[in-house]
Amino acid sequence: MSDLSEVDCRHPAGTFAPVIDPLRCEGKEKCADVCPYGVFEIRKLTGSERAALPFLTRLKVAAHGGKQSFATLAGECRACGRCVTACPEQAVTLAKTT
């Protein structure tokens, strides 16, 4: 988690939320490292989450320890954009919630 004193909070919490592309995410944790609000959780996929992925993506996820990122506290997002620029797989975008 980053230092809150340096954060450029562009919108009130809950106006935007991060969207993680499960076809791109390799669970490298960069989003969790840079998010000042602890929005992300990196964890192993459940069996049903794995089953929902295309075969090649399942292989890719397995090669990276079976982990991906989840925006479990998406309502805390202030749209600073750090996670979007930090992700080496370009798996994170921001979407307006309303």
Summarize as ranges the residues that interact with ligand SF4 (CB under 6 A): 18, 34-37, 39, 77-83, 94
Q: Is 94 helix (H, G, I), strand (E, B) or coil?
A: strand
CB of 18 to ligand SF4, least distance (A): 4
CB of 64 to ligand SF4, least distance (A): 21
Which residue's CB is nearer to ligand SF4, number 50 or number 93? 93
Which residue's CB is nearer to ligand SF4, number 25 or number 79? 79
CB of 78 to ligand SF4, least distance (A): 5
Which residue's CB is nearer to ligand SF4, number 12 or number 54? 12
- Can you read off the two tokens belonging to residue 88? 């080496």
CB of 88 to ligand SF4, least distance (A): 15
Phi-psi region of 72 (alpha: psi -120 to 50; beta: other; left: phi over 0): alpha
Residue with tokens 């980053």: 2
Exposed e or buried b per residue across 32-47, where buried means at least 16 C-beta atoms within 10 angstroms of its C-beta: bebbbbebbebeebee
DSSP state of 51: H
